Amino acid sequence: MTSRARWGGAVALVLASSPALAEDAGTPKAAASLVDATTVVADLVVDLRYATEDNFLKRKVYPDSARCLLLPESAQRLKKAADALRAKGYRLKVYDCYRPRAVQWEMWKIMPVPGYVANPRTGSNHNRGGAVDLTLTTLEGQEVEMPTPFDTFSPAAHHGYAGGTEASRKHREILREAMEGVGFKRNRMEWWHYDLPDAKKRPVLDVPFPPP
């Protein structure tokens, strides 16, 4: 069961006691408050790919009410990164934020490859609100060139990839410097994926997106 309450721009998702989730969280009751990142980063561009068919699942797994929900600490760090990038002529565009654990199971059925898709038994940092998938855009909202499209499971998506165009590598590094500069940790296999440094300590959640 879940109970939901809304205070201003924040959406509080409180998880009732659940044996499976309690085991993941390491506590008898897992609870977390997730905020809508657009209330913290005013010019954030939102393109939640799992609310569309434009993803590796080739089907929509998020409802129309899906938003970029993050732990407050994730959102505040994202704001700092966005502030630094704005001065350089860029905005942030998010592809995925909080992800219900039920969706993680759907992904695992298709791509059960640790490193690319987290095992839902232990949970993804997306399931904790402690991870964000994102890219850069111009100030007008136009995506800039990156080494690969989002969710490309190949060596070309790795941070150490030396191929592709000079512009794509430059943009990847601008994003990395901004995100690591505010304390996020990069996923070496995905140029778009960044985690809170202590994300693994946060509880795994499987609460649905609240209605709009």
The pLDDT value recorded for residue 152 is: 95
Q: Which band of pLDDT confidence, cut at 50, 70 and 90, is reported for residue 116? A: confident
Q: Is the pLDDT of residue 4 over 90?
A: no
pLDDT digits (tens, 9 = 90+) for 55-78: 999 999 999 999 999 999 999 999
Q: Is the pLDDT of residue 5 over 70?
A: no
Q: Name the residues annotated as catalytic.
A: 190
pLDDT digits (tens, 9 = 90+) for 163-206: 999 999 999 999 999 999 999 999 999 999 999 999 999 999 99
- Residue 80 burial (C-beta neighbours within 10 Å; 0-12, 13-18, 19+): middle
Q: What is the pTM of this model?
A: 0.85
Q: Tell me, letter by letter, the H, E, C secondary structure of the chain.
A: CEEEEEECCEEEEEECCCHHHHHHHCCCCCCEEEEEHHHCCCCCEECCHHHCCCCCCCCCCCCCCCCCEECHHHHHHHHHHHHHHHCCCEEEEEEECCCCHHHHHHHHHHCCCCCCCCCCCCCCHHHHCCEEEEEEEECCCCECCCCCCCCCCCHHHCCCCCCCCHHHHHHHHHHHHHHHHCCCEEECCEEEEEECCCHHHCCCCCCCCCCC
Residues whose CB is less than 8 angstroms from the CB of residue 211 and which lie 6 or more positions away in sequence, other chains included:
65
- Residue 107 phi/psi, 5-degree rounding, is -65, -40
pLDDT digits (tens, 9 = 90+) for 140-157: 999 999 999 999 999 999
Instruction: Say what percent of the chain tops pLDDT 90.
Output: 79
Q: How far, rounded to the nearest angstrom, does the alpha carbon of residue 91 sit from its chain's CA centroid?
A: 16
